[in-house]
Structure 1
Amino acid sequence: MTNPTEDDIRSYYAEDRLLSSLSVYNVGSQKCTPGFQWGPGVRDHYLLHHVLSGKGHFEIRGKTYHLKKGDTFLIYPNMEACYRADEEEPWVYTWVGFAGTDAFYLLNHTDFSEDSPVLEQAEISGVIERRIQQVYEAKGNTFCGAVSMTGALYSMIAMLMENSSAEAKQKNLQTGRVEQAIRYIEEHYSYPITIEDIAGYTGVCRSYLYRMFQKILKMSPKDYVEEYRIRQACRLLRETDMPITAIAHSVGYEDNLYFSKAFKKCKGQTPTRYRKTESGKKA
Structure 2
Amino acid sequence: MADRLELQDPRLPGVVTLGRYRYSYAHDVLGAHSHPGCVEVCFLARGRQRYRLGDRVYQLNGGDQFVTLPDEQHDSAGEPEDKGVLYWLIVRVRDSPLLYLDSTRRRQLTQALLGIPTRQFRAHPEAGFLLDDAIAQLSGQASELARLQAAMSLAQFLVRTVTASAADQARPVSAVVERSKQYVAQHLGETITVPMLSRAVGLSPARLHAQFRQELGLPPGEFILRSKIEHARTLLGETDLPVTEIAHSLGFASTQYFATAFKRLTRTTPTAYRRG
TM range (shorter): 0.3 to 0.5
Bigger radius of gyration, 1 or 2?
A: 1
Normalising by structure 1, what TM-score?
0.45
Which gives a bigger RCO, structure 1 or 2 (Cα 8 Å, sep 6+)?
A: 2
Normalising by structure 2, what TM-score?
0.46
